[in-house]
Amino acid sequence: MFSLIFTRRVSADGWHPTGEKVFLSLPKNKMDINGKIVQHLGVQTGQGKNGTWKKQEFILETGDTYPKKVCIAVWGDKIDMSQFRIGDAVQVSFDVESREYNGRWYTDVKAWKVVGQNAMGGAGNAAPPPFSGPIDPMHEDDLPF
């Protein structure tokens, strides 16, 4: 949930003439995308004003009629991307953020949750692997009685 302050009929200091703050609350949009991982990009690290940062990007391809590729960033250590391999189907929950730098705008797609598609069905729903061990042949003259 986030709030917007109405600027109409609000003084320069943000207060309504009646002396109350005016807010509009809107529901947060949940953004998810499904697809398969087609590429892992290298881990980037750096030093910022808040300390050391780490970013891992990956390319996700949607399974639509006209597939799209999206570069998605994972910041920090919240999500361990080493558990996912190229070709894995995943669902990514993300936020989109834009910022201005030197007169140009840059947009990031930042993942806050990545779930493997096979893990979404819950534990125990997967079929066991087919038996591939040796089968002892029965000899025709060996009767069990």
Which domain CATH number covers 73? 2.40.50.140
Q: What is the DSSP track for 55-123?
A: EEEEEEE--SSS--EEEEEEETTSS-GGG--TT-EEEEEEEEEEEEETTEEEEEEEEEEEEEHHHHT-T
Strands 89-101, 104-116: parallel, antiparallel or unpaired by DSSP?
Answer: antiparallel
Residue with tokens 């930042």: 110
What count of other Cβ atoms lies within 10 Å of the Cβ of residue 92?
A: 22
In whole angstroms, what is the distance from residue 45 CA to residue 55 CA? 6
Residue 135 domain-assigned?
no
Taking a C-beta distance cutoff of 8 angstroms, is the pair 137, 119 a contact?
no
- pLDDT tens-digit readout, 109-143: 999 999 998 754 444 444 556 656 565 565 566 65
What residues contact 60, with CB distance under 8 A and at least 6 apart? 33, 35, 36, 37, 38, 69, 70, 72, 90, 92
Query: What is the rounded end-to-end Cα distance, in angstroms, of the chain?
Result: 74
Domain span holding position 47: 29-119
**Bridge partners of residue 24, in order along the sequence:** 4
**pTM for this prediction:** 0.61
**Between 78 and 97, where is the model more confident?**
97
Kindly state whether residue 49 falls inside one of the protein's structural domains: yes
Q: Does residue 62 lie in a domain region?
A: yes
Domain total for the chain? 1
In a domain, 65, yes or no: yes
Say if 83 falls within a structural domain.
yes
Establish if 127 belongs to a structural domain: no
Percent of the chain clearing pLDDT 90 (strictly above): 49
Q: Is residue 3 part of a domain?
A: no
Task: Read off the tokens for 123.
Answer: 């534990």
Average pLDDT of the chain is: 76
Q: Is residue 64 part of a domain?
A: yes
